[in-house]
Amino acid sequence: MFHIFAAQVKGFLGGCRPIIGINGAHLSGYYKGVMLTAVAIDENNEIFVLPYGIVDTESIDSWTYFFRNLRCLFAQYESQKDDWTFISDRMRGVESALFEVFPRATRRICCQHLYSNCKAAGWSGAAFHKMFWIAANAYNEYVFEKTMSKIKDFDAAAYDYLKNVEEQWSVHMFNRTVCCDHNTTNFVESFNAITKANRDMPVLTLLEDVRNWCMKRMGSRFDKAVSMEPNDLTEHAKGVLATRTDDSRFCHVTAAGDGEFEVRDDHVKFPVTLGNMTCGCGKWQGSGIPCKHGLRVIYNQRLDPRDFVSPFYKGPAYKLTYGDHIHPMADPTHWPSLDVPEIAPPQGKRNAGRPPKQRRRAAHEAKKGKRHKNNKCSLCKELGHNAVTCKAKKASSKKTTHAASSSQQGNTRGKRKAAT
Ligand SMILES: [Zn+2]
């Protein structure tokens, strides 16, 4: 089956960025089967559910069925666009099916998946991990090429492997008009996490729970979108602007005339063009939100940063995305009787015994919940601990100093008493 509500397809075609994340998750109940999902990202960087389907197995046939329905659906809503950007893992059948149905599509691969592939091939360790993610998150070619040459020195085979990846994976490769710098499928995984609790339920119960979740989610955002003004930014864009404004304090601007500027950040210089909304670092074009260099210029020129944020993060687009909502539904017992064929459940039943709920992880995959030792604290920017530990550490050190000073005071008081 393939399923979507009108509010979802209208919302996606109306306001969302043209990127679609796809994934398949196994059903863990009585029937075997796979739930295929397509998820987009809204203006507030939250997930926006597109169609989901249930098929027997992941294969070229089942993915072709899914993509064909998706294309027909877009055509039904008068969208002839066929150069969508898709992001996924390397799942069975996806590539051939995708390019058969959408020959002009762009394909991004999830970097988390790509890194796992590298790890399985034997390239791992803290140094490779660091270089890989710098290359994956490089907003400009210079940083990418520089890091790739370091990877080449580390291991020539790893360099060859990464150079020959056919899908797009490093941020600087992405189409700027998409305005989306996501290079992992974490947003699709978060929808999978929501359906996980119900994937061992009968198919209709699963579908009903997902419908209910989508209705609730779209309803709350529909109410929020109503009050948004044309130049209002979403919470996500506001947050990014605030962080980048903070970081922009140490940049120095030199005007070059005709809306062009040179911004010095530490000892590196970046050219900024206000009219084109571009910066040499590539972050502005890549994310659609001014980078710290662009922001320094905007503040320097006494302009409003909101005017330089992509329309994909503003009120009108948010209103289009949540311009409609999923209407409430009566209980199935109250439905009118329809003369339609019954849909058969997925073929193939499980053997006796309870199927495992947890996914079996491969030998090279990290254990569930294991934190990377290179995690960075968001407060003090140091490696090796997180913000919670940092806060606790600071609080305990404050307590010790306070206790020490109060005990010192106590001692002097005692001495004074003795003296009198
Ligand atoms: Zn910049």
- Taking the centre of ligand 1 as the mean of its atom positions, its distance from the CA of residue 279, in whole angstroms, is 5
Residues 193 and 185: their CA atoms lie apart, in Å, by: 12
**126-136 and 156-163 helices, crossing angle to 10°:** 30
- Taking the centre of ligand 1 as the mean of its atom positions, its distance from the CA of residue 244, in whole angstroms, is 10
Quote the percentage of the chain above a pLDDT of 70: 88
Query: What's the pLDDT tens digit per position in 79-112?
Result: 888 899 999 998 888 889 999 999 999 999 999 9
Query: What's the pLDDT tens digit per position in 53-63?
Result: 999 888 999 99
- Taking the centre of ligand 1 as the mean of its atom positions, its distance from the CA of residue 182, in whole angstroms, is 18
- Taking the centre of ligand 1 as the mean of its atom positions, its distance from the CA of residue 172, in whole angstroms, is 13
- Taking the centre of ligand 1 as the mean of its atom positions, its distance from the CA of residue 282, in whole angstroms, is 6
- Taking the centre of ligand 1 as the mean of its atom positions, its distance from the CA of residue 48, in whole angstroms, is 29
| Residue that is written with structure tokens 């955002």 in the block | 221
Q: Please give all residues whose CB falls under 5 A of ion ligand 1, grouped by chain where several chains appear.
A: 279, 281, 291, 293
Query: What's the pLDDT tens digit per position in 265-278?
Result: 988 999 999 999 99
Query: What's the pLDDT tens digit per position in 318-375?
Result: 999 999 999 999 888 898 888 888 877 767 667 676 666 666 666 556 666 655 556 7
Q: Is the pLDDT of residue 291 over 90?
A: yes
- Taking the centre of ligand 1 as the mean of its atom positions, its distance from the CA of residue 309, in whole angstroms, is 14
- Taking the centre of ligand 1 as the mean of its atom positions, its distance from the CA of residue 302, in whole angstroms, is 18
- Taking the centre of ligand 1 as the mean of its atom positions, its distance from the CA of residue 283, in whole angstroms, is 6
All domains in the chain, ordered by first residue: 2-110+185-227 (3.30.420), 121-175 (no CATH), 235-308 (no CATH)
- Taking the centre of ligand 1 as the mean of its atom positions, its distance from the CA of residue 291, in whole angstroms, is 5
- Taking the centre of ligand 1 as the mean of its atom positions, its distance from the CA of residue 290, in whole angstroms, is 7
- Taking the centre of ligand 1 as the mean of its atom positions, its distance from the CA of residue 349, in whole angstroms, is 55
Q: What backbone phi and psi angles, to 5 degrees, belong to 142?
A: -60, -50
Q: Residue 107 pairs with which residues in a beta bridge? A: 86
Amino acid at 216: K
355-364 per-residue burial string, b: 16 or more CB within 10 A, e: under 16: eeeeeeeeee
Q: Which of 167-176, 271-280, 383-392 has the lowest mean pLDDT?
A: 383-392
- Taking the centre of ligand 1 as the mean of its atom positions, its distance from the CA of residue 272, in whole angstroms, is 7
Q: Residue 265 pairs with which residues in a beta bridge? A: 251, 268
The DSSP code sequence of 67-90 is HHHHHHHHHHTT------EEEE--
- Taking the centre of ligand 1 as the mean of its atom positions, its distance from the CA of residue 248, in whole angstroms, is 10
247 exposed, middle or buried (CB, 10 Å; 0-12, 13-18, 19+)? middle
- Taking the centre of ligand 1 as the mean of its atom positions, its distance from the CA of residue 390, in whole angstroms, is 30
